[in-house]
C-alpha cells in the first residue's frame, strides 16, 4: 500500500519517538510524576512573556492581512527586521531578499535540500547528528555521508572531513550548539573547514553549500560567543527557528538567512521560494511571523537550562558516567554503561527513566538525555539513575 522506501524508513525510524511512545505507556501505568522522560527535545518551559504579550496584542488588533496568504517568502517587514537584527554581527549585511520565513528549521532544511540537490548528490553530516537529516536528504534523492567526529570531544575531525568530500558533495550540514552533544564548534575549526571547502570547490569545479542548522543558537552557556557563520563561509545558508529559543516548537516558525556573498543569489532565492510553495508549506504561519518579529532579542530562561545542565552533569559524572560538559543546547550525551546502548536504554526504562540511544544519532555506545524538563522531574529521577549505575556496579 505505501512505498517501499517509506516502509523501510518506518521500521528504522526515530528512537526518540519510540521512547516517547514508551513514556506514554509508563505514564498510564505509574502516573506522570513517577516517569522521568528525558527522551524528547520538547521544552516544558512556556514561551517568554514578551511572546504572550505580543500574541495577545496582535490577536486583538485589526492589522490587515494577518490571516491571509502572503508572498511565499513571508511578510516583507518581518524579513527586514530579521535581516537588520542579524546585521549587528555581519560583515556583509543582509536585506529582505536574503531571508525566507519557514515552517521551523525542519521546513527550512527541506526547502534548501529540495532546491539544491540533484539525485545521488551527497550531503556531509557529522556523527552524532540529528537523525532526521538522512530522511530530509533522501526526500530529494540525495544521500547523507556520515563523518564521525573526534572521540571524546565530538569536535570535527578535519582530516576525515577533507577525505569525505568528492565531486558529488553538494552540501555540508553543521549543527552548533549540537543536538545531541551540546558541543559548540570554535571559530578556528570553522575557518579551517571553510578553507577545506574552498580548496575542494576549486579541485572539483563544484559548488558546496555550508548549511548551518542553528535552532539552539540562543541557548549557550558560560559566556561563550557563537562564531558568526556568514563571516566565515562564502556559500552558507543559516537555518534557524524559534522552536527552542522561544519555546515555540508547535507553532512551526523559523527562517533561512542566505549569505549575501553567494553568487546568483536571485536564482537561489527564487528556487527556495518555489520549493517552499511546492512542498506545500506555502508560507510560514502568518500570526507567528508577526509575533516573533517583535521578540527577536527575547529568549527562554537560559540560566534555568544551565541549572539543569549543572545538576545532571554533576550527579551523573559523580555516579561514574563519562560525559562532556555541554556548552549549549539542552542535551547531555554520556557514554552508555555497556557497549549496547539500546540494551542500556531498555534497562533504564525499568527504572522509569526514558532516554534515547546514541544509535539513533549515528553514534552507538552513548545515550542522549534531554533536560528541557521540569526541575522536579530531574530531582526525582536521580534515585533512579543511582540504581541504574548500581545495577551496572560502577559505584562503590
Ligand atoms: C538539530 C535540530 N535541527 C532541526 C530541528 C527541527 O526544529 P524545528 O522544530 O524548528 O523544525 C531540531 C529539533 O529538535 C533539531 O534538534
| Atom in ligand 1 nearest the alpha carbon of residue 329 | 16
Whether ligand 1 lies within 6 angstroms of the CB of 180 is answered as: no
| Atom in ligand 1 nearest the alpha carbon of residue 241 | 10
Whether 315 maps to a domain, the answer reads yes
- Is the pLDDT at 123 greater than 60? The verdict is yes
Whether ligand 1 lies within 6 angstroms of the CB of 289 is answered as: no
Q: Please tell me whether the overall predicted TM-score, pTM, comes out greater than 0.85 for this model.
A: yes
Q: Are residues 376 and 265 in the same domain?
A: no
Whether ligand 1 lies within 6 angstroms of the CB of 246 is answered as: no
Q: Per the structure, how many domains does the chain have?
A: 2
Q: Are residues 90 and 188 in the same domain?
A: yes
| Pocket perturbation via mutation, ligand 1, pick of 17, 39, 47, 104 by most ligand atoms within 8 A of CB | 104
Q: Confidence band (pLDDT; 50, 70, 90) for 336?
A: very high
> What CATH number does the domain containing 369 carry?
3.90.1150.10
Whether ligand 1 lies within 6 angstroms of the CB of 262 is answered as: no
Q: How far apart are CA 210 and CA 226, in angstroms?
A: 16
Looking at per-residue pLDDT, the higher value among 64 and 321 belongs to 321
Q: Are residues 213 and 353 in the same domain?
A: no
Helix 341-349 to helix 375-391 angle, to the nearest 10 degrees? 120
Q: How far apart are CA 15 and CA 333, in angstroms?
A: 15
What mean pLDDT do residues 359-373 have?
97
Q: Are residues 267 and 177 in the same domain?
A: yes
Domain limits for position 28: 4-48+300-391
Q: Are residues 86 and 112 in the same domain?
A: yes
Per-residue pLDDT at 63? 82
Q: How far apart are CA 144 and CA 115, in angstroms?
A: 16
Per-residue pLDDT at 228? 98
Mark which of 293, 315, 348 sits at the end of a domain: 293
What percentage of the chain reaches a pLDDT higher than 90? 88
| Total Cβ atoms within 10 A of residue 138 | 16
Interval 43-69: pLDDT, tens: 999 999 999 999 999 999 988 888 999
> What CATH number does the domain containing 145 carry?
3.40.640.10
Whether 270 maps to a domain, the answer reads yes
| Atom in ligand 1 nearest the alpha carbon of residue 106 | 11
Q: Confidence band (pLDDT; 50, 70, 90) for 242?
A: very high
Q: Are residues 248 and 351 in the same domain?
A: no
Range from 26-30, 132-136, 177-181 carrying the lowest mean pLDDT = 26-30
Separation of CA 137 and ligand 1 centre (Å): 15
Whether ligand 1 lies within 6 angstroms of the CB of 254 is answered as: yes
Whether 327 maps to a domain, the answer reads yes
Mark which of 268, 293, 318 sits at the end of a domain: 293
Q: Are residues 156 and 216 in the same domain?
A: yes
Q: Confidence band (pLDDT; 50, 70, 90) for 10?
A: confident
Per-residue pLDDT at 315? 97
- Is the pLDDT at 127 greater than 70? The verdict is yes
Per-residue pLDDT at 310? 98
What percentage of the chain reaches a pLDDT higher than 70? 98
| Atom in ligand 1 nearest the alpha carbon of residue 107 | 11
Separation of CA 215 and ligand 1 centre (Å): 6
Range from 12-16, 142-146, 314-318, 347-351 carrying the lowest mean pLDDT = 12-16
Separation of CA 242 and ligand 1 centre (Å): 10
Whether ligand 1 lies within 6 angstroms of the CB of 105 is answered as: yes
Q: Confidence band (pLDDT; 50, 70, 90) for 14?
A: low
Whether 170 maps to a domain, the answer reads yes
Q: How far apart are CA 42 and CA 387, in angstroms?
A: 26
Separation of CA 105 and ligand 1 centre (Å): 6
Interval 300-314: pLDDT, tens: 999 999 999 999 999
Q: Confidence band (pLDDT; 50, 70, 90) for 394?
A: low
| Atom in ligand 1 nearest the alpha carbon of residue 242 | 10
Are the CB atoms for 224 and 327 separated by under 8 Å? yes
What mean pLDDT do residues 102-124 have?
98
Whether 396 maps to a domain, the answer reads no
Looking at per-residue pLDDT, the higher value among 179 and 32 belongs to 179
Q: Confidence band (pLDDT; 50, 70, 90) for 70?
A: very high
Q: Are residues 347 and 207 in the same domain?
A: no
| Total Cβ atoms within 10 A of residue 332 | 27
Whether 228 maps to a domain, the answer reads yes
| Total Cβ atoms within 10 A of residue 227 | 18
Q: Are residues 362 and 380 in the same domain?
A: yes
| Pocket perturbation via mutation, ligand 1, pick of 215, 218, 292, 368 by most ligand atoms within 8 A of CB | 215
Whether ligand 1 lies within 6 angstroms of the CB of 240 is answered as: no
Q: Which of 109, 219, 218, 119 is nearest to 174 (CA)?
A: 109
C-alpha cell at 227: 562564531
Per-residue pLDDT at 12? 65
C-alpha cell at 245: 529559543
Are the CB atoms for 128 and 310 separated by under 8 Å? no
Question: Which residue's CA is the nearest one to ligand 1's atom 14?
Answer: 41
Whether 35 maps to a domain, the answer reads yes
Are the CB atoms for 219 and 245 separated by under 8 Å? yes
Mark which of 247, 268, 293 sits at the end of a domain: 293
Write phi, then psi, for 216 (nearest 5 degrees).
-105, 15
Task: Please report which residue ranges of the chain form alpha helices under DSSP H.
Answer: 4-11, 15-30, 49-60, 76-87, 104-116, 132-138, 158-164, 187-204, 229-232, 265-278, 286-293, 302-318, 341-349, 375-391
The answer for residues whose C-beta is within 8 angstroms of residue 99's C-beta and 6 or more apart is 73, 74, 79, 80, 82, 83, 255, 256, 257, 258
Question: Which residue's CA is the nearest one to ligand 1's atom 16?
Answer: 179
The answer for residues whose C-beta is within 8 angstroms of residue 150's C-beta and 6 or more apart is 156, 157
Q: Are residues 350 and 379 in the same domain?
A: yes
Write phi, then psi, for 241 (nearest 5 degrees).
-155, 175
Q: Are residues 161 and 277 in the same domain?
A: yes
Looking at per-residue pLDDT, the higher value among 63 and 137 belongs to 137
Separation of CA 254 and ligand 1 centre (Å): 10
Separation of CA 44 and ligand 1 centre (Å): 16
Per-residue pLDDT at 274? 98
Whether 347 maps to a domain, the answer reads yes
C-alpha cell at 174: 553543521
Whether ligand 1 lies within 6 angstroms of the CB of 328 is answered as: no
The answer for residues whose C-beta is within 8 angstroms of residue 72's C-beta and 6 or more apart is 273, 274, 276, 277, 282, 283
Q: Are residues 55 and 199 in the same domain?
A: yes
Q: How high is the mean pLDDT of the chain? A: 95
Helix (H, G, I), strand (E, B) or coil at 277: helix
Whether ligand 1 lies within 6 angstroms of the CB of 130 is answered as: yes
Amino acid at each position: 500500500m505505501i512505498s517501499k522506501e517509506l516502509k523501510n524508513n518506518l521500521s528504522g525510524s526515530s528512537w526518540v519517538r519510540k521512547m516517547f511512545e514508551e513514556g506514554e505507556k509508563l505514564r498510564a501505568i505509574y502516573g506522570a510524576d513517577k516517569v522521568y522522560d528525558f527522551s524528547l527535545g520538547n521544552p516544558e518551559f512556556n514561551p517568554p512573556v514578551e511572546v504572550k504579550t505580543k500574541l495577545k496584542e496582535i490577536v486583538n488588533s485589526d492589522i490587515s492581512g494577518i490571516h491571509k496568504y502572503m508572498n511565499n517568502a513571508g511578510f516583507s517587514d518581518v524579513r527586514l527586521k530579521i535581516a537588520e537584527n542579524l546585521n549587528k554581527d555581519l560583515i556583509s549585511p543582509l536585506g529582505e531578499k536574503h531571508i525566507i520565513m519557514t515552517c521551523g528549521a525542519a521546513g527550512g532544511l527541506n526547502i534548501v535540500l529540495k532546491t539544491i540537490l540533484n539525485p545521488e548528490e551527497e550531503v556531509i553530516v557529522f556523527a552524532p547528528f540529528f537523525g532526521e537529516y538522512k530522511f530530509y536528504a533522501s526526500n530529494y534523492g540525495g544521500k547523507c555521508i556520515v563523518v564521525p567526529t573526534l572521540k571524546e570531544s565530538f569536535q570535527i575531525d578535519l582530516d576525515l572531513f577533507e577525505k569525505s568530500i568528492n565531486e558529488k558533495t553538494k552540501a555540508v550540514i553543521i549543527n552548533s550548539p549540537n543536538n545531541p552533544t551540546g558541543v559548540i564548534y570554535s571559530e578556528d575549526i570553522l575557518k579551517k573547514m571553510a578553507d577545506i571547502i574552498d580548496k575542494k570547490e576549486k579541485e572539483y569545479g563544484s559548488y558546496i553549500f555550508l548549511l548551518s542548522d542553528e535552532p539552539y543558537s540562543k541557548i549557550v552557556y558560560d559566556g561563550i560567543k557563537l562564531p558568526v557563520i556568514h563571516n566565515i563561509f562564502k556559500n552558507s545558508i543559516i537555518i534557524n527557528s524559534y522552536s527552542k529559543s522561544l519555546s515555540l516548537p508547535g507553532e512551526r516558525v523559523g527562517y533561512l538567512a542566505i549569505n549575501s556573498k553567494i553568487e546568483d543569489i536571485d536564482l537561489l532565492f527564487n528556487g527556495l521560494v518555489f520549493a517552499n510553495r511546492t512542498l506545500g508549506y506555502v508560507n510560514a504561519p502568518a500570526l507567528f511571523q508577526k509575533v516573533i518579529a517583535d521578540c527577536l532579542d527575547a529568549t527562554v530562561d537560559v540560566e534555568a537550562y544551565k541549572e539543569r545542565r549543572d545538576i545532571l552533569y554533576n550527579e551523573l559524572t559523580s555516579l561514574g558516567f563519562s560525559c562532556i560538559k555541554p556548552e549549549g543546547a539542552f542535551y547531555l550525551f554520556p557514554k552508555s554503561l555497556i557497549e549496547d546502548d539500546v540494551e542500556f536504554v531498555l534497562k533504564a526504562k525499568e527504572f522509569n527513566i526514558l532516554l534515547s540511544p546514541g544509535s539513533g544519532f549515528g553514534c552507538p555506545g552513548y545515550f542522549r538525555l534531554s533536560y528541557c524538563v521540569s526541575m522536579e522531574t530531574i530531582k526525582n529521577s536521580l534515585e533512579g539513575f543511582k540504581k541504574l549505575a548500581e545495577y551496572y556496579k560502577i559505584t562503590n
